[in-house]
Amino acid sequence: MFRPQFLLSALAAFAPLSFAVKRSAGDPCVVIAGKVFVRPADALACMKSFPFNETLRQNVLTNNIARVFDFYTFEDYYLESPPPFQESTANIRAGLAKINTTKYATDYDFNIDLYNFITQLNDGHTRWFPNCYTSFQNLLPAPIVSLEVNGVQGVYIVPDLVDLVSLLGPDYTDLITIDWQRLAGAKVVSVEGQDPYAYVDFIAKTVSGNYLDHGVRVNSVFSSYRLSGSAYSQRFGDFAGPTGAAQNSLTMKLTTVNSTKVESVTIPYIASFLGVNFTDQASFWANNCVATNATNGVDLKQSAGLTSNAFKRKQPMANIIDKSTSSAVGLPSQFEPTLPTVGGDQGVMKSYILPGNKTGVMFIGSFEGDFDGFQNDTQSAIAAFKAAGVTQLLIDLSNNGGGFVCLGQFLHQYLAGTRIGYPGFQSTVRGNELARKIVASDIALGLTDAVTFYTADNYAFLNGTQMPADYNYITPDVPIVINGRADATSQRFHDTCGLSFTVDMPENPPFDLKNVAIVSNGNCASTCAMFSTLMNEREQTKIAVFGGKPFENVEFKGMAGNQVLEWFDIDSEIKTANLKDDPLAPADLLVSGDFRHNWRTAWSFFNEKEPIAYVSELPKYRFPYTLDTYNNPQNLWLFAEKTLFT
Ligand SMILES: *[C@@H]1O[C@H](CO)[C@@H](O)[C@H](O)[C@H]1NC(C)=O
Ligand SMILES: *[C@@H]1O[C@H](CO)[C@@H](O)[C@H](O)[C@H]1NC(C)=O
Ligand SMILES: *[C@@H]1O[C@H](CO)[C@@H](O)[C@H](O)[C@H]1NC(C)=O
Ligand SMILES: *[C@@H]1O[C@H](CO)[C@@H](O)[C@H](O)[C@H]1NC(C)=O
Ligand SMILES: *[C@@H]1O[C@H](CO)[C@@H](O)[C@H](O)[C@H]1NC(C)=O
Ligand SMILES: *[C@@H]1O[C@H](CO)[C@@H](O)[C@H](O)[C@H]1NC(C)=O
Ligand SMILES: *[C@@H]1O[C@H](CO)[C@@H](O)[C@H](O)[C@H]1NC(C)=O
Ligand SMILES: *[C@@H]1O[C@H](CO)[C@@H](O)[C@H](O)[C@H]1NC(C)=O
């Protein structure tokens, strides 16, 4: 099923921010208005029709993004990222200065340059999303996978192509100008004149983002199964489903199934619109590009009533934003598990008992959604496993983009028991000048964790005692040196997740931890990365990663930052602390966009001098996908049961 989700349009009341739009028969946005699927060149013509505007560049780059970067925990690590993450090296300030002086013809060119620069930091917690220009996803009717066939790994167009692409419907397939069905399962010989794995590396380097490790990004180039929300889905992958509308077609050399003839095929991309509907250039701008009432933060002291989601706000988040989930294509239904689910099945977790009753499977698609419901589902799945005599637990974390920080710690604690004590990591925030002013001001104002993430009562001392709200853990700061640069950080602290556990926690592990194994494609981000790192570092859990490029490592954790703050969140912290007028405070955005950043560091349990993001931890097992497993979770679990539990 194709499920476009349109963002709320809530603009009318907002600061008119307009271009001198030429209303003419030649309006390039009229051509694509009201359509879900359009030619990328037409989408691009509309997006490129807004001239470059220096006022907007200074608003976004100098007054907003450059100042938010002061809070970014990993800024100085980028000067020289340690191996194997060296590809993610950048001088952030020099990069911003260059974008500040480059001549751009259009507003699109400026924003996409900035989007690419920040995306290529490869930190899914630190992204610039200019909503105006990230409102298309470009879909190629030829997603690819790396498969082992007859003992040899190669790149193939997905064998389930016809079933998968047909789910997009005739509005999509009618626009494909070639005989695409015959490409199902074709072996790819080259892409744009390059070896297919070399082209995959190129996409991993220039398009994917989100994950520090190159090997993990290679897997996000390929198509893969996932849960999108609570529904089975097949991700197109960054080769066949990148954000934007930059490319019109790709040329591949390939051999179709049962043929030995190498032929050259040029395949068209078709762009899918994910933004807010519009009728012409002016309404495209008004509905998609201008700041809404949800773009900038609010003074949470004034809006205690407004936050009916006050509880949610208090829960720290660690997740990535995968634009491809906003219009997820279903996994063709014949590849969904045929076993019945057991335990709770209302949310992001689906649990099964494999035939023979030895192994229970928890497929955890994310740590988002219903905070208490997740805990209930865990408890009821484990109770069902116990009742059936299950002794082995397999956890599938494929394409888990993270979510609530505390649900990762919850799951670790539930599986390891309360006997282990604190189930998380040591953490810090950056001790920049404005952060220190915020904490001081919060204390003076008598604020608490009910409204801010900066007050100390969100956290605990390392002995486990919750800090009092008026405790100043950031002044004096703790000096650290990163890549030769002096930086400042807060004192170290623990999370206080135990305060929000709502189910009875077992004292001892429900399953012998030697009989617990994790499988994934390495696309396990944020809370998922922290959870699997805890299971690796503290419980020595067996971890297997599927897919990737032959003879190249894949880390099992994709992006192991810690809590992320959206622009709305950090701006709300500043406004709530009455510091919006401070010269260091970032300005409100005039455009609709989000500059999110990794706000807290999680320090490795193995080496408490290193952020876990920068500690290389490889899975004990690596397997290629096969025709049986790449899009068939149940087949993969049966393979893993045979292979990992012996
Ligand atoms: C934004 O505006 C919409 C529509 O006017 C309204 O429903 C919503 O509550 C507003 N949100 C905030 C955070 O003010
Ligand atoms: C540039 O943007 C500013 C801020 O919205 C606006 O006031 C100004 O008119 C724009 N300039 C042009 C030439 O459109
Ligand atoms: C936007 O337009 C599409 C295509 O006409 C339509 O299917 C969809 O319902 C519209 N969405 C909204 C929110 O109006
Ligand atoms: C960009 O250039 C302007 C004008 O020279 C300057 O005021 C601003 O500080 C620069 N911003 C950045 C991020 O380099
Ligand atoms: C390929 O050959 C096999 C065996 O003859 C046949 O079953 C299959 O339908 C053929 N596939 C295509 C796409 O021609
Ligand atoms: C597995 O458990 C189910 C439900 O308790 C039972 O019906 C089935 O016979 C069991 N299978 C085996 C192989 O023990
Ligand atoms: C979780 O389970 C408890 C106890 O059965 C129940 O009271 C509560 O409503 C459940 N919460 C959710 C969110 O499912
Ligand atoms: C934990 O450490 C804090 C700060 O050093 C101290 O004030 C508190 O009394 C300690 N709590 C316990 C239970 O030792």
Confidence check: pLDDT of 15 > 70: no
- Strand, coil or helix: 340: coil
Output the six-digit token pair for 337: 């598990």
Confidence check: pLDDT of 239 > 80: yes
pLDDT value of position 25? 57
Ligand that lies nearest to the alpha carbon of residue 287, given by its number in the listed order: 3
Q: How does residue 304 score in pLDDT terms, banded at 50, 70 and 90?
A: low
Confidence check: pLDDT of 83 > 80: yes
pLDDT digits (tens, 9 = 90+) for 336-385: 999 999 997 768 999 999 999 999 999 999 999 999 999 999 999 999 99
CA-angle at 272, arms to 266 and 278, nearest 5°: 135
pLDDT digits (tens, 9 = 90+) for 264-274: 999 999 999 99
Ligand that lies nearest to the alpha carbon of residue 355, given by its number in the listed order: 6
Output the six-digit token pair for 75: 């800024």
Closest residue CA from atom 5 of ligand 3: 34
pLDDT value of position 22? 46
- The answer to whether the beta carbons of residues 435 and 429 sit under 8 Å apart is yes
Confidence check: pLDDT of 456 > 70: yes
Residues 230-244: what's their mean pLDDT? 97
* Substitution site in 311, 375, 376 for ligand 7 pocket (most atoms within 8 Å of beta carbon): 376
Residues 27-46: what's their mean pLDDT? 97
**CA separation for the pair 520, 528 (Å, rounded):** 10
pLDDT value of position 314? 76
* Substitution site in 156, 258, 259, 260 for ligand 5 pocket (most atoms within 8 Å of beta carbon): 258
Closest residue CA from atom 1 of ligand 1: 293
Nearest to 576 by CA among 322, 248, 296: 296
* Ligand 4 first shell, C-beta below 6 A: 61-62, 66, 96-97, 100
Residues 564-584: what's their mean pLDDT? 98
Virtual torsion, Cα 211, 525, 2, 252, nearest 10 deg:
30
Domain that holds residue 636: 1-646
pLDDT value of position 519? 98
Residues 230-258: what's their mean pLDDT? 97
**Which of 9-23, 70-84, 193-207 is the least confident region?**
9-23
For ligand 8, what atom is nearest to the CA of residue 463?
A: 1
| Ligand 4 centroid to residue 100 C-alpha, Å | 6
| Ligand 7 centroid to residue 383 C-alpha, Å | 15
Ligand that lies nearest to the alpha carbon of residue 345, given by its number in the listed order: 7
User: From the CB of 591, is ligand 2 less than 6 Å away?
Assistant: no
* Substitution site in 465, 467, 470, 494 for ligand 8 pocket (most atoms within 8 Å of beta carbon): 465
Closest residue CA from atom 9 of ligand 8: 465
pLDDT value of position 491? 98
**CA separation for the pair 544, 310 (Å, rounded):** 38
- Strand, coil or helix: 350: strand
> What's the per-residue H, E or C state across 494-522?
EECHHHHCCCCCCCCCCCCHHHEEEEECC
According to DSSP, the residues that pair with 243 across neighbouring strands are 137
Residues 6+ apart with CB under 8 A from 239: 140, 143, 144, 199, 200, 203, 221, 222
**Which of 83-97, 142-156, 361-375, 600-614 is the least confident region?**
600-614
**CA separation for the pair 215, 206 (Å, rounded):** 14
- The answer to whether the beta carbons of residues 48 and 107 sit under 8 Å apart is no
Q: How does residue 213 score in pLDDT terms, banded at 50, 70 and 90?
A: very high
What is the secondary structure of 268-321 as a DSSP string? Answer: E-EEEE-S---SSHHHHHHHHTB--TTTS---TTTTTTT-TTHHHHHS-EEE--
- Kindly state the helix (H) or strand (E) to which residue 362 belongs, with its residue range: strand 359-364
Q: Quick count: other Cβ atoms within 10 Å of Cβ 22?
A: 10
**CA separation for the pair 490, 476 (Å, rounded):** 8
Closest residue CA from atom 7 of ligand 4: 62
Q: Going by DSSP bridges, is the β-strand pair 359-364/494-495 parallel, antiparallel, or unpaired?
A: unpaired
Confidence check: pLDDT of 204 > 50: yes
* Ligand 5 first shell, C-beta below 6 A: 257-258
For ligand 4, what atom is nearest to the CA of residue 61?
A: 13
| Ligand 2 centroid to residue 55 C-alpha, Å | 6
Confidence check: pLDDT of 243 > 70: yes
pLDDT value of position 326? 77
pLDDT digits (tens, 9 = 90+) for 580-589: 999 999 999 9
Ligand that lies nearest to the alpha carbon of residue 92, given by its number in the listed order: 4
Ligand that lies nearest to the alpha carbon of residue 61, given by its number in the listed order: 4
Nearest to 517 by CA among 534, 545, 546, 542: 542
Confidence check: pLDDT of 278 > 80: yes
pLDDT value of position 14? 38
pLDDT digits (tens, 9 = 90+) for 393-434: 999 999 999 999 999 999 999 999 999 999 999 999 999 999
User: From the CB of 372, is ligand 7 less than 6 Å away?
Assistant: yes
Closest residue CA from atom 4 of ligand 7: 376
The share of the chain scoring above pLDDT 90, in percent, equals 90
420 secondary structure, DSSP code: G
- Kindly state the helix (H) or strand (E) to which residue 208 belongs, with its residue range: none
pLDDT value of position 347? 86
| Ligand 5 centroid to residue 186 C-alpha, Å | 12
CA distances for 71 relative to 175, 477, 487, 571, angstroms = 45, 14, 11, 12
pLDDT value of position 344? 79
Residues 470-493: what's their mean pLDDT? 97
Nearest to 177 by CA among 268, 263, 246, 245: 268
Confidence check: pLDDT of 136 > 60: yes
**Count: domains in the chain:** 1
| Ligand 8 centroid to residue 500 C-alpha, Å | 21
pLDDT digits (tens, 9 = 90+) for 44-71: 999 999 999 999 999 999 999 999 999 9
Q: Quick count: other Cβ atoms within 10 Å of Cβ 541?
A: 23
Confidence check: pLDDT of 17 > 90: no
CATH number at residue 533: 3.90.226.10
Residues 6+ apart with CB under 8 A from 78: 88, 89, 90, 91, 92, 121
User: From the CB of 345, is ligand 7 less than 6 Å away?
Assistant: no
